[in-house]
Structure 1
Amino acid sequence: MLSTIERLVPADQRAATSILDIGGGEGAMSIGLWQIGFRDITMLEARPLNIEKAKFAGNHFHAGIQFKLTTIEDFLQKNDKNYDITLFMGLLYHLLNPFEILKSIGLLTNRHMIIESALAQPRLNGFDNRADYSPSDAGFFVRIDTVLSQTAGLSDFELWPNMAAVKTLVQYAGFNELQLLEGKNPPKDFASNSRMIALASK
């Protein structure tokens, strides 16, 4: 992910390029971006323990990141700023209102969004609905989880999109292109298409 952003933004433009890291966890991505020259970074995280760890790590690396303890919903209601690049990693399938949230993210993102998510891989063989009134193959699939983990969502329910649903969401949010980011030796879940990471661009 860092190499993709390095490629998108020349070194002499990074200090003036604004980054929004949504659901940044313990701050690894934001701090990594700070270390390669980005200086306008805002990181959102809903769990107090994670934000404290992120602040500790940020202080260690002398990173002037704006850490905000907030849910994405609360942030979007109050935010009045646009960002050049948005990181939206590991959060999509925890949302119960993905269309509303992605639309809002699209409105505040000037150029690019890095999106990462678990993917459902259903075995579908069409629908029994009549041909002129039938859904597409873009879908979300419910998984029951627990909110007890520091890496879980804020609800016991997860909505896993399939790849067709991700493409639909990204287009609905106002992005024109979606490019999968595939490394040479991807982790098992990415190699098996159980997870995906992609660059959405306007």
Structure 2
Amino acid sequence: MIPGLSNLNFRRHGYVPLLCIIVLTLLLIIALFPEQIAPYAQNKRFLPYMDPDNAHLLGTDDMGYDILTLLVYATRISLTIGFFAGGLSLLIGTATGILSGYLRGWVDDMIMGITDITLIIPKIPAIILIAAYVRPGIWILILVLGLLSWETTARVVRAKTMQISNAGFIMSARCLGFPSRSIIIQEIIPVIYPVILPK
């Protein structure tokens, strides 16, 4: 193999994931230990609209709170929302995609119809509209984001499931009388999980 090409492949596929892991690790540390990292207590106030200086690296907001402190404490909230909303959308998208691709027929038509409707719903206006009628909170935001963000995963999983549903090992399992649940859990999911993980 050409040395330059090998080095190029490493730079393309090695540095970026490593950088992502480092950044994510730093964010996790900030989220887990905000009291030790933030320069001030979360409820400590100063003069409003202070310019950035050595005491306040990002200045203060209109209420007098240190902006860097607010960002440090907000990291935990952002990661919590992203983790649980992503997990919920991944769970819904995987389940619906497998059912749609494996059962096909009217089940596939119904699920894909719901997927198309979900796909065209504008996310931000929907969140604002729901927040106007429901008491806002982290878990409400997680629920809304999870319920409105699964359609892409469902389409990818459905395509992969349809691709392998006619494979020899799947047909053999059907001929041997294995129930659909066992085929999905033991045969299909282990094959499609490399497609699910990047989501």
User: For the pair shown, which has the larger CA radius of gyration, 1 or 2?
Assistant: 2
TM-score (norm. length: structure 1): 0.23
More helix as a share of residues = 2
- Give the strand-richer structure, 1 or 2: 1
